Structure formats: C-alpha cells, structure tokens
C-alpha cells in the first residue's frame, strides 16, 4: 500500500467549532437561529460560561456549511477534532476512561451528543491525540464513530 493510499483511507474525526460569544441573554439563541436558517442542526453542545464571555462548543450535522456561514457572517471560531465513542452499555464510560488513563493520554473535556448512533449514546472526547485514542479504544472493543457517520 502506498502512502497516498494510506492518506486517502484515513477516516476523519468529528469536527467541533468553538465560538466565543458575549455572555448575554439570547446570544446562543441568535447563533442557533442563524444556523437553523441554513438547515444546519446542532447535534452536540457544550457551553463554558464566564462573567463576560461564553465559549460554545458545537458539533453540527453540516460542518462545511457552518464554516462557510461563520466566515460570511464574520463569526470568529476555531476548529478542533474530537473522538466520538459509541456507548453501548453503562459500563462503557468506565471502560473508556480507564483505557485512556492506562494509556496515559490526556482527556481535556468530554460531553454527550444530542443524537444517537444506531440506537446508542455518543460521547465526544477532546484528547491530545485522536489517532492514538482511537487505537486504544478500538483495541478495548469500543466503537469510534467518524464524521462521515454523523453527517447528513
């Protein structure tokens, strides 16, 4: 197998947008409405609040359109890759966290998605190295869900 074949077969991890917004009533509602008008659905959300500003971390069903919209509207954002893991049973969370701990990889934050995959809950993880984390969790029998499996 050539290097170009390896690269072309690489599965894409789920993209997350981090948007800094003013901490005021209706700020997130306005952003949600803007996305909705373009038929972009928020399927994962984490909000970190402070006195003056809020960081909204979003996973959407159409990240290419969301990025285009943010650029058009002058909305500042950053993009990150997340590892999304299918939680088939309650013990999967413990197993997932223990395997990452045993592998000595850092988990910066995690949040659940608002959609299911094949009837199972999904957990988004921000790791220092998604490739490494995916290999650890796959070897442990956990299922990693890639972006193409979440998009419309």
Tens digits of per-residue pLDDT, 103-139?
999 999 999 999 888 889 999 999 999 999 999 999 9
Residue 146: which CATH number?
Answer: 3.30.70.260
Q: Are residues 74 and 86 in the same domain?
A: no
Q: How far is CA 91 from CA 85, 87, 88, in A?
A: 13, 8, 8
Domain that holds residue 138: 82-150
Q: Which residues pair with 56 in a beta bridge?
A: 19, 47
Q: Which residue has the higher pLDDT, 11 or 123?
A: 123
Averaged pLDDT score across all residues of the chain: 90
State mean pLDDT over 8-26: 85
- Are residues 76 and 125 both part of a single domain? no
pLDDT at 10 over 90: no
Q: What is the pLDDT of residue 9?
A: 61
| Domain annotation covers residue 75 | yes
Across 6-10, 11-15, 31-35, 102-106, least confident range: 6-10
Q: Convert the pLDDT of each residue in 40-91 to its tens digit.
A: 999 999 988 777 788 899 999 999 999 999 999 999 999 999 999 999 988 8
Choose among 151, 58, 64, 62: nearest CA to 113.
58
User: Residue 68 falls within a domain, yes or no?
Assistant: yes
Q: How far apart are CA 130 and CA 127, in angstroms?
A: 6
Using the predicted structure, report yes or no on whether residue 7 has a pLDDT greater than 90: no
Rounded Cα distance, 8 and 81, in Å: 18
pLDDT, tens digit, for every residue of 78-92?
Answer: 999 999 999 998 889
What's the CA gap between 49 and 20, in Å, rounded?
Answer: 10
Higher pLDDT, 15 or 10: 15
Residue for token pair 């979440």: 150
Query: Residue 92's CB: how many other CB atoms inside 10 A?
Result: 20
């Amino acid at each position: 197998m050539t290097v170009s074949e390896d690269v072309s077969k690489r599965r894409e991890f789920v993209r997350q947008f981090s948007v800094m917004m003013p901490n005021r009533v209706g700020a997130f509602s306005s952003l949600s409405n803007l996305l909705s008008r373009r038929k972009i659905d928020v399927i994962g959300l984490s909000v970190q609040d402070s006195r003056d500003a809020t960081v909204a971390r979003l996973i959407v069903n159409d990240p290419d359109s969301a990025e285009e919209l943010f650029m058009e509207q002058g909305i500042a954002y950053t993009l990150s890759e997340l590892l999304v893991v299918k939680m088939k049973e309650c013990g999967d969370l413990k197993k997932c966290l223990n395997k990452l701990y045993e592998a000595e990889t850092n988990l910066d934050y995690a949040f659940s998605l608002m959609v299911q995959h094949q009837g199972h809950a999904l957990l988004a993880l921000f790791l220092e190295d998604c490739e490494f984390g995916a290999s650890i969790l796959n070897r442990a029998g956990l299922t990693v869900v890639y972006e193409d499996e979440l998009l419309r």
